[in-house]
Amino acid sequence: MSRRRGLVAAAVVLSFVLAGCSDVAASETTPSPTRASSSSSPSTTPSTTTSPKPTPTPTPTVKPTPKPRVKQKPEYYALRVERQLDKLGYPVGDIDGDITARAKQALCAWRETHGMPVSRAGLTLDDAYSVLNATSRPTPTREPGIYVNKTCQILYQIVGKTYKRIVWISTGGPGYETPNRTGKVWRKWAGAHESSLYEDAYMYDSLYFLKDRPGIALHGSRVNSLVKPYPASHRCVRVLRPEIHEIFEDTPIGTKVQIYGEY
């Protein structure tokens, strides 16, 4: 009986030892999951290749909205226009920015010599731009001679191919209108003399140009105040002194004289 118990006990011990060896062997021969994973799994480290950056969309250039050009009133240019007209030989009287009847005569002459509608109107923007952009007088399109514009009450003396003088005049008033005619200087009377038609009416440096109307002449008057900016004579053409003297000296017999226009 004791022998049987001894065998059983030995079998139990042997079984325990074998079971323990089996556990050790398993732990030694089974590959570590961690090691197997680290040695055989593909790398999960992100690639270091840099992707191209997208091209930025250019910001469109915004053009500033142009401000509307504000046109000044004609009066804004009046003083500059008067200075320029005087510089170019168009008489305006006082240069003070006030467009008087005298300045309107100059503007009327400017319009005529530049092919613009002829009138005695006041300053316009077209006038101002035309005058201020000019650098010299235009070249006449008419032959040499003396031209009297009754609309402007202006006389032009053309010598060669230039306007030698542009001066104020006063033609015949109502009932004594200077006729619109073309003639030639046929008589010159230097100095002062009394009119053969009107007592105590003195004429200076007279140029007679109509043989069939022998009393009509271009002449200076006793005082310049008689040369109005409107028709005021008795059919003759009154011219400022000393301008009439200079015109007289430069005008030979046979020079063309033309009267035209309406006031």
Domain extents in the chain:
74-133, 145-260
- pTM (whole model) above 0.75: no
More confident position, 232 or 50 = 232
For residue 248 the two structure tokens come to 């007289």
Catalytic residues, by residue number, are 219, 236
Residue 119 has pLDDT above 90, yes or no: yes
Please report the pLDDT score of residue 52 as a whole number.
Answer: 63
pLDDT in tens, 52-71: 666 767 777 777 777 666 67
Percentage of residues in the chain having pLDDT higher than 70 = 77
Q: What is the mean pLDDT of the chain?
A: 84
Residue 40 banded pLDDT, cuts 50, 70, 90: very low
Render the burial of 109-137: b for 16+ CB within 10 Å, e for the rest: bbbbbeeeebebeebeeebbebbeeeeeb
Which comes out higher in pLDDT, residue 11 or 191?
A: 191
Q: Who contacts 184 (Cβ-Cβ below 8 Å, separation ≥6)?
A: 209, 253, 254, 255, 256, 257
**Whether pLDDT at 203 is above 60:** yes
Task: Specify the amino acid at residue 245.
Answer: H
Q: Which of 22-26, 91-95, 130-134, 185-189 has the lowest mean pLDDT?
A: 22-26
Where does 145-260 sit in CATH, by number?
2.40.440.10
The stretches of 97-190 forming alpha helices (DSSP H) are 101-113, 125-132
